[in-house]
Structure 1
Amino acid sequence: GITASATAKKVGMPNSDHIVTGDMLEKMTDAELREAVKDVSIFSRVIPEHKMRIIKAFKDNGEIVAMTGDGVNDAPALVKADTGIAIGAGADVAIESADIVLMGGELGGVAAALRLSRAAMTNIKENLFWAFGYNTLGIPVAAGVLYAFGGPLLSPMIAAAAMSLSSVSVVTNALRLRRFDPNKTHKYLKPHSSKKNGGNDAAQAGNNNNITSKEETNMITLKVNGMMCQHCQKAVEKALAEIGATDITVDLANKQATFANADEAAARKAITDAGYEVE
């Protein structure tokens, strides 16, 4: 819970001190959980069954739910969510269960996918509005409505050209998506936080007060022997996260673990207890 709260504060999430853990969730009824998800931003240390319950609670409240995961245990939740997002470097079953796969393997791709989806939906609405309005006016004119009131009678060639203009306009507007920039930065905004706690203000306050650059943080690097695969890498990351370390980077090739905001002695002990040797 502490690690989740610290990470949430760094990215500027509102209500980052209000956390529901797996133990707390076990004691909640479905009705209590439906109320909890209205105000809680963070759920930590949850098992696959808990993830399913959380998603159901959000959906019961009328929310549209996206789930991101990379493991075998995430597959049921990826299927249950309205949109499942898998990490490209994750398990095959997770990738097969998801609607979207982040090929780059970076979580930042989730925000980029969300922004692209919103841009695409806006573009679709614009195209529908233009096509509906254009055809509502153009088809009666092409059919000769103006001629009945003393106006001109359009030839079929002019009507066909006008129809082509509608298609060209729609396609041109759709091509604007090619200019979409996935690297454009945006603040965190919980979908229903604008009504609950002034989402943008909370996110801005979080960004201003809680984000610390790596240059300003006292980073610690340890040499870790015995790491052979990605499983070992994740085991070391987990050991450091459990003692409250942040900005964790485990370099498998160079056998190094870099982190901040944790005692070096405690980190050495945690890594050793996980079965690895620290120089």
Structure 2
Amino acid sequence: MTDFNKITESDSNYTDLEKMSVEKCTYAINQEDQKVANAVQQVLPSINQLINAILPKMKLGGRLFYIGAGTSGRLGVLDASECPPTFGVDKNKVLGLIAGGDVALRDAVENAEDSTTQAWKDLSTYNIGENDCLIGIAASGTTPYVLGGINEARRNNITTGAITCNPQSPLAIAAQYPVEVVVGPEFLTGSSRMKAGTAQKMILNKISTTLMIQLGKVKGNKMVDMQLNNEKLFQRGVKMIQKEKNISNEEAANLLRTHKSVRNVLGHG
């Protein structure tokens, strides 16, 4: 494993946290949080390269997979799970896998991230292939579960990306399209669910949202393909139609009930 500076484990810029007042604590965390957006901005070219590598395969019917452990895995699952309701895509278009399986979304699963072979076993249950793409998410860039999955995907000619917060990490070296977002030491030393997690969430938002826009799942600035699976979303759709067609709320609601989606009502596809 290549030697590198693991910034995510470096000492916090703050000491004696237990002596801080509530006000000082939240202020200091907020000061650190403000560094995240700037760090993400610095890696936009890498994010763009990754999106541009994924997009042609998804246009041909390929899928996007995320793999991660702990916070990173949960963030991948979260982003994937939001794609069907937001963009109306099939639940298997974007998939998030976490070390330890779904139980790990709520509870830590002992040693789940330490296997270098389990990720590929998990991915194989979905028949991952050359038309698909895989993004490994690991703040440290050293998680065996993620590294093993990326390395095996490369051996199987699958396009690979990575999101990590340590430059020149093993994961960044292993993936074809690494995004290395350096957010610096955490307020609480080593707690990468904080700034590192925030950065990963921001990058995942950019990747999935931009892909779905490019795949035609958005009209103007509206989620015209969103699933109308609760009253809040139904009413959001009604407002879109009402504004676009300049009709009453009741007329818009009746159209949406009849045609089942905002896109169908607006006649775009």
Q: Same fold (TM over 0.5)?
A: no
TM-score by length of 2: 0.28
Question: Please, what TM-score do these two structures have when normalized by structure 1?
Answer: 0.28
**Which one scores higher on RCO, CA 8 angstroms, separation ≥ 6?**
2
